[in-house]
Amino acid sequence: MTKALSLLLGTLALSTQLFAFDATKAAELHHFYSHMDQKACADSTLFMKADDLMTLIREGKPYLLLDVRSQGEASVLGLTDTHSALMPIERLFTPEALKTLPTDRPIIAICHSGTRGTMAAIGLKQLGFANVHVLKGGMIALAEANTPKNAPLK
């Protein structure tokens, strides 16, 4: 009987841990997301269109194109712009990586299609980086926007 009671109490203790969450983090996330209704999301400046990035490039304005794809993906199709940096998302939030990010110009996160770029941009915003965007549609959109009309002038 004592074994069964001990097992039951142990199981209950473990199960409550499974359903526990960090209340402080939940409050921070609530504060961050509470204003994001449908209109706020539609009006968000978090997303940048590929044509707008091409304009930045063409006009020579300062920016950092932050490639958060894997090393393998970048080896197949990489960004060679001097204003770009490869920082896979799994290493982005290390102190060493964060120290290298600029605060004096826009950071535009890019990945294959936009999912990892969105996660990176939201994380950077939560850390206090103010001028962060994600390239809507990622590398796919950038490739489609790189037309003779939009190509950088060299």
Tell me if 3 is assigned to some domain. no
Residue 79: inside a domain, yes or no? yes
CA gap 133, 109 in Å, rounded: 6
CATH number at residue 115: 3.40.250.10
The residue with greater pLDDT, 41 or 115, is 115
Summarize the confidence of residues 19-48 as an average pLDDT.
77
Name residue, tokens 């796919």: 140
Cα separation, 154 vs 152, in Å, equals: 6
Range list of β-strands (E), the chain: 47-48, 64-67, 84-86, 107-110, 132-135
Q: What is the pLDDT of residues 5-29, one digit of tens each?
A: 666 666 656 555 556 677 887 888 7
Residue 7 lies in a domain: no
If one counts the domains in the chain, the total is 1
Give the structural domain span for 92: 45-145
Residue 4, domain member (yes or no): no
**Amino acid at residue number 130:** A
d(CA 6, CA 3): 5
Q: Look up the pTM and report it.
A: 0.74
Reported as a single tens digit per residue, the pLDDT across 115-129 is 899 999 999 998 999
- The answer to whether residue 16 is domain-embedded is no
102, 124 Cβ separation under 8 angstroms: no
In the predicted structure, residue 154 carries a pLDDT above the cut 70:
no
Indicate whether 126 belongs to any domain. Answer: yes
pLDDT of residue 18: 58
* Residue 38 counted as domain residue: no
The per-residue b/e assignment along 8-23, b for 16 or more CB within 10 angstroms, e otherwise, is eeeeeeeeeeeeeeee
CA distance 85 to 66: 5
Position 152 in a domain: no
